[in-house]
Chain A
Amino acid sequence: ELKVEQNPLFLSMQEGKNYTIYCNYSTTSDRLYWYRQDPGKSLESLFVLLSNGAVKQEGRLMASLDTKARLSTLHITAAVHDLSATYFCAVGWGGGADGLTFGKGTHLIIQP
C-alpha cells in the first residue's frame, strides 16, 4: 500500500519568510500532484510533476520532484497572507493507470 506523508501538517509563518513543505512517499512513482484547498472550498490543482527532476513554478510557489528520494517539495518564497490554505500532495501509482493517494495536507497560516 502506498503511503504518502506530508510534513509539517501545520505551519504558521510570517509574511515575507520562505518555507518548504515536504511530501514523502513509500513506493516508486514519477507522478506527483499538488493541490490547494481554502477553508470550506474545493481543491484547486497547482502543479503536475511527471518526471524525476521536474520543477514547476507559479508566482511564489515552486514544486519539485525527486523520484529517487521519493520526495516532492513545495517551496514558498516571500510568503503573503493570500497563500494561507491547506496544501495537499497526491502520488500516482500503478504506472499511471491505477491509483492516486493523497497526503493528509499541510495547513498553512501566514500571518501579517
Chain B
Amino acid sequence: EIVLTQSPGTLSLSPGERATLSCRASQSVSSSYLAWYQQKPGQAPRLLIYGASSRATGIPDRFSGSGSGTDFTLTISRLEPEDFAVYYCQQYGSPPLTFGGGTKVEIK
C-alpha cells in the first residue's frame, strides 16, 4: 500500500497569498497517477488536478500541480475567498487507491 503524507496539516494564509501544499508518497507513484481534491464543509470532494499536473474541467488556472515519483505539490497562486478548504492528494495507480491525510487552508 502506498502511504501519502501531506504537509503542513494546516496552512494559515490571507487572500491573495500563495499556497504551497505538499504530498509525499512512501513509494513511487506510477506514471504520476496523482490527483488533488478540494473539499468544503458539508460538501463532497471536487477533483482539481489529475496526472499530477493536469487541471480538471472548469478548474481555474490559479491551481497548478507538479511533481513526480514520490514528491508532489499543489500550488494556489493567489488565494481567493472560496479557496479556503481542505485539500487531499490521492494516488490512483495501484490499489488500494489511498488518500493523504489532508491539508486545511484557513484564513489568517
| A and B are interacting partners | no
